[in-house]
Amino acid sequence: MLDINLLRNDPEKVRENIRKKFPDEKLPLVYEVIRMDREYRDAQQQADALRNKRKTVCKEIGGLMAKGLKEEAEAKKAEVAAAAEELAALEVKEEELKAEIRKRMLVIPNIIDDSVPIGKDDSENVEIERFGEPVVPAWEIPYHVDIMERLHGIELDPARETSGNGFYYLTGDIARLHSAILSYARDFMIDRGFTYVIPPFMIHGNVVSGVMSFAEMENMMYKIEGEDLYLIGTSEHSMIGKFIDTILEEDSLPRTLTSYSPCFRKEVGAHGIEERGVYRIHQFEKQEMVVICEPEDSPMWFDKLWNNTVEFFRSLDIPVRTLECCSGDLADLKVKSLDVEAWSPRQQKYFEVGSCSNLGDAQARRLGIRVRDKEKGNYFAHTLNNTVVAPPRMLIAFLENNLREDGSVAIPKPLQPYMGGQTELRVK
């Protein structure tokens, strides 16, 4: 959510930013907010004037009563009653206007960084850098589910019976590999100075609207029927929500956190749910990074966060590349975003395994997360998040890049301690 002062002082900057993101239907919202804001402030001024008048007249009534001028005092009381009625109407108007302004402000996009490439959708995202040499082996790489099934590691049919499409049972060594990757990711981030957290997996509606746009919520979140609770789509939601309505001391920043959680997503939209596969599913687990910092430090932390993901994947011998998200591919709250994509030898192309985002002060402004400054006054913090790893999608990259010609799968050294010393997976 933007600072209302930006719309008051430079509405064309906000409109130009909307044009860069291509949702032209939102352009009228800027002037709607400006008109309503003017009405809101007029109503506030009228209400303040009435409150001051009421105080003055109340004092006059006391003076008149002391002098025994009862008739004049009664006339003044009638004046106060009329003012009270008018004030009540103005207060209702203020609340209505405030709600309508906020409703529109929540869907006006955040101001994107000057470095963001301009483009309509993800097809215009820009490759930045490649890490590791992508290899296409001489033998055919099977579909990832086939690899897992040969290792007796996945059961999709029973999951369809219990839960429907978009669910799975992982078993045996594949299940252990899944847990090993998450445990390694946890320790990988702890070694980089991040504090490990396991957050709540359900959050209230006000936290949901604080961390994401309504459109995202509708397409992603599962609501618990009859309760003000939603299943999280990523631990970033409850991790940022942890700081709702707090004032942080400057010397306590940055807060660098790494969190584990299951994630639950409707996956409504063009991509859909696979009948057979674990790339896009309703339930998965993830290790996340979250940073709350001072505004001037957020660009530096943005680079640190995506670099952590690159280093994690490279430590497991998986080639990756980074992709700068263009303006049209940025969610409304994001200032800047970069995807990390892993190499798929089977498809001979890269696919997304993580996304790093700088949200500026958008989430902090919605949730009331401030930093204390005794001299200049409190200000809003900046928030960032990034995926360390999200199996089972990461299992696709891992299995394809570590598969041998004989069907066995090599286990890189960093993972071996988490796999009980195993150096490979073989068909039993």
> Which tokens belong to 38?
């003017």
Looking at residues 219-239, what average pLDDT do you find? 94
CA–CA dist 259, 386 (Å, integer) = 11
Mean per-residue pLDDT for 211-233? Answer: 89
Percent of the chain clearing pLDDT 90 (strictly above)? 82
Which pTM does this prediction carry?
A: 0.90
Q: Strand pairing partners for 249? A: 372
Q: What are phi and psi of 308, to 5 degrees?
A: -60, -45
The reply to whether CATH 3.40.630.30 applies to domain 122-425 is no
Higher pLDDT, 65 or 374: 374
When pLDDT is averaged across residues 276-297 and rounded to a whole number, the result is: 93
State the DSSP code for 403: B
Alpha helices in 247-343 (DSSP H): 298-314
Query: 3-class SS at 416?
Result: helix
Looking at residue 268, what is its pLDDT?
58
Quote the CA–CA distance of 385 and 355 in Å, as a whole number.
Answer: 8
- Please tell me the distance from the alpha carbon of residue 335 to that of residue 306, in angstroms, as a whole number: 15
From first CA to last CA, the distance across the chain in angstroms is: 55
Amino acid at 178: H
- Please name the residue that has the structure tokens 């029927």: 225
Mean pLDDT of the region 332-346 = 97
Q: Looking at residue 55, what is its pLDDT?
A: 83
Judge whether residue 66 has pLDDT over 80: no
What's the pLDDT at 271?
A: 53
Cβ(57)–Cβ(79) below 8 Å: yes
> What length does the chain have?
428
The domain spans of the chain are 4-105, 122-425
What is the dihedral angle through the alpha carbons of 419, 422, 425, 428, rounded to the nearest 10 degrees?
Answer: -110
Look over the chain and give the mean of its residue pLDDT values, rounded to a whole number: 93
The rounded percent of the chain whose pLDDT value lies above 70 is 98
Which alpha helices (DSSP H) does 67-198 contain, by range? 70-105, 144-150, 157-162, 172-190
- Taking the C-alpha atoms of residue 392 and residue 160, their distance in angstroms, rounded to an integer, is 17
The residue-averaged pLDDT of 234-251 equals 96
Cα distances from 150 to residues 142, 144, 172, 180, 281, in angstroms, run 10, 10, 12, 20, 21
Least confident residue range of 76-90, 272-286, 318-332 = 272-286
Q: Which of 263-277, 316-330, 390-404 has the lowest mean pLDDT?
A: 263-277
pLDDT for 190 equals 98
Lookup: tokens for 95: 């609340």
Which pLDDT band holds residue 202 (cuts at 50, 70, 90)? very high
- Transcribe 92-115 into DSSP letters: HHHHHHHHHHHHHHTTSPPPPPTT
Residue 270 has pLDDT above 50, yes or no: no
Residue 71: band (very low, low, confident or very high) from pLDDT cuts 50, 70, 90? confident
* Structure-token match 């360390």, residue found: 388
pLDDT of residue 401: 97
pLDDT, one tens digit per residue, over 84-140 is: 889 999 999 999 999 999 999 999 999 999 999 999 999 999 999 999 999 999 999
The CATH architecture to which 4-105 belongs is: Orthogonal Bundle (1.10)
Residue with tokens 């963001």: 116
